[in-house]
Amino acid sequence: MKPIKKVMLNGKAILLAATVLAGAVAATGCNAQVKASGISIDSVEVNASGDESIDVTVNTVSDRSESSENEITESITSELVYSIDLGLGDHFRVPQVNIDTDEIAKLNNKIADDVKEFAALDPDPTYECSFVDYEVFNGISGIYSIVIDLNYDGWGGNYKAFTFSADGHVLSNSEVIRLFGISDNSFYNTVRAAIMIPASELECNGQKAIVGGMVNTDYEYADLVDESLSGQIINLYMPIMINNDGKLCVCLNIVPIADPHDSEYFYTVPEGQKIDVVRAG
């Protein structure tokens, strides 16, 4: 049994229909055992402080089906993260986190500021050459990552990634990697080894990008690969997130040529597997 959600909300019940929670709590007080929509709930703890806020902890049994896991994740993320309108058009989906802490408030402000700064680069963002979209991931119990795509017509822009906990703490990249037993000092070598896996599959004009564990100087874009594998790119300032499989992922472009942002991907660490994330536009 493990807790999957604990969050302060303003007058909102999440995870399950409000009627299920209300009925369970009314029947038994602070703890209840209920089953709804195929989701087996081991206990529900509610602490009402007398105002609008309700502290809800839901514990689920470990034998949930995969479909139930997906239903729970979708329900949580739809309540935890919502879109706001900055007056830039429907093609700008700007996320905000619905948790009442100072850290989350600062995160929400940063996200809005980043989007405004991005939009200011386009002389007419309402013309729909610029797009913003996002995706929420929940691969570790109580930990969420938001990936935001700031996209200019496919070739320009960048990804932003933020990770936060259900109790409203915004994790630094150092804190994220420590969840996987990786220290700041070992981060570069660990990520470089992971990125070497997809890099070794690159080939141009009969020359492989990686030969003998080193960048092949005869490869046409050797300088770009070499830079992508350097500390200039692989560092704790790069976009880092946790995907729905609970894998640590980092974002970079191994060969940034014609469309640098369009060929920018997230890769799992240490497997080096390219994963699909949101693409705005």
Q: What pLDDT shows up at residue 36?
A: 34
Q: What pLDDT shows up at residue 68?
A: 45
The confidence band for 233, taking pLDDT boundaries of 50, 70 and 90, is: very high
Q: What pLDDT shows up at residue 77?
A: 53
Task: Between 10 and 160, name the one with better pLDDT.
Answer: 160
Q: What contacts 225, CB < 8 A, 6 or more positions away? A: 199, 202, 209, 210, 215, 219, 254, 255
The pLDDT of residue 238 is above 90: yes
CB of 235 within 8 A of CB of 188? yes
Task: Between 120 and 240, name the one with better pLDDT.
Answer: 240
CA distance 197 to 193: 7
- The token duo for 236 is 């704790």
The pLDDT of residue 44 is above 80: no
Residue 147's nearest CA partner among 277, 10, 31, 269 is 277
In the DSSP assignment, the letter for residue 126 is: G
Provide DSSP, 148-182.
Answer: EEEEETTTEEEEEEEEEETTSPEEPHHHHHHTTT-
Q: What pLDDT shows up at residue 260?
A: 66
CB of 219 within 8 A of CB of 207? yes
Task: Between 260 and 49, name the one with better pLDDT.
Answer: 260
The pLDDT of residue 281 is above 90: no
The confidence band for 259, taking pLDDT boundaries of 50, 70 and 90, is: low
The pLDDT of residue 155 is above 70: no
Residue 244 CB burial class (10 angstroms; 0-12, 13-18, ≥19) = middle
Q: What pLDDT shows up at residue 162?
A: 98
Q: What pLDDT shows up at residue 239?
A: 97
Q: For the chain, what are the domain ranges?
A: 2-64, 82-173, 183-275
The confidence band for 130, taking pLDDT boundaries of 50, 70 and 90, is: confident
CATH class of 82-173: alpha beta
Q: What contacts 22, CB < 8 A, 6 or more positions away? A: 13
Mean pLDDT, the chain, rounded, equals 77
pLDDT in tens, 64-119: 345 444 554 454 556 899 999 998 888 899 999 999 999 999 999 999 999 999 88
The confidence band for 276, taking pLDDT boundaries of 50, 70 and 90, is: confident
CA distance 60 to 4: 7
Claim: this prediction has a pTM higher than 0.85: no
